[in-house]
Amino acid sequence: MARVLVVDDDRALQRALKVALSAHGHEVLLATTGEEGLSSVALRSPDVVVLDLGLPDMDGLEVVRRVRGWSEVPVIVLSATALEDRKVAALDGGANDYVTKPFGMAELEARIRTALRHAGAPVPGDGHIAVGGLELDLARYEASLAGKPVELTAKEFELLAYLARNAGKICTHQMILQQIWGGAYGADAEYLRVYIYRLRKKLGGKGGVIVRTAPGIGYCLAAS
């Protein structure tokens, strides 16, 4: 599953994109302004951003420029204009792709898959995630490290899979707890620490993968 951030103030289009992209196995985040989009990129670590240029608070090109100051997340621009100079400005500013409205959902999904592959992010549908020597079979809930099986409970597997989907990115305590256990656990960082301890013990610090701590923020799974 890939996390797609849609930044667009058209509520009807947001709903349509959420339904269509969710059906393809993506987790869909929504933002209606440039500032909300920038905050979501920083706090939610999306795998790809689908960005409308006509936002109410700032030009989408400014959003791209600011994102590129600290992130390499793929950005697919949506725009109602097909003017060449606008496309050139978006691509030169750091956007990875440019889609003109109206567009087909199949085309957008194909462009998202391409952006994910180029970024090295997991593409929904293959059922496997690999980070370093760690391999996860999402369909069977099976994990292996350096070719050897790792015995995990269902929740341990879901936690590890979530970190693996976002490998190399810091996932905050709140993000992890809400995604894996639900909103009721959103502030219980101690509960999460117990599970991280169990994962580290089972991974053993071997196999080319490690769970790093970002003090006071969250955790990051990375190849060691």
CATH of the domain at 76: 3.40.50.2300
Query: pLDDT by residue for the chain (224 residues), tens digit each?
Result: 688 999 999 999 999 999 888 888 888 999 999 999 998 888 888 999 999 999 999 999 999 998 888 788 999 999 888 788 889 999 999 999 999 988 888 899 999 988 888 776 555 555 678 888 899 887 678 899 988 999 999 889 989 988 988 888 888 888 888 778 876 665 678 889 999 999 999 998 766 789 999 888 889 998 87
- Given a contact cutoff of 8 angstroms between Cβ atoms, the answer to whether 224 and 200 are in contact is no
Structural domain total, the chain: 2
pTM for this entry: 0.57
Same-domain pairing of 24 and 78: yes
- Given a contact cutoff of 8 angstroms between Cβ atoms, the answer to whether 166 and 221 are in contact is yes
Same-domain pairing of 95 and 27: yes
Same-domain pairing of 161 and 209: yes
Same-domain pairing of 185 and 108: no
Residue after which a domain boundary falls, among 119, 146, 177: 119
Collapsing DSSP to helix, strand or coil, 42 comes out as helix
Same-domain pairing of 15 and 106: yes
Same-domain pairing of 104 and 137: no
Give the separation between CA 95 and CA 74, rounded to whole angstroms: 7
Q: Is the alpha carbon torsion for 151, 152, 154, 159 positive or negative?
A: negative
Q: What angle do CA 165, 118, 208 make, to 5 degrees?
A: 45
- Given a contact cutoff of 8 angstroms between Cβ atoms, the answer to whether 191 and 183 are in contact is no
If you ran DSSP here, which 8-state letter would residue 153 be given? -
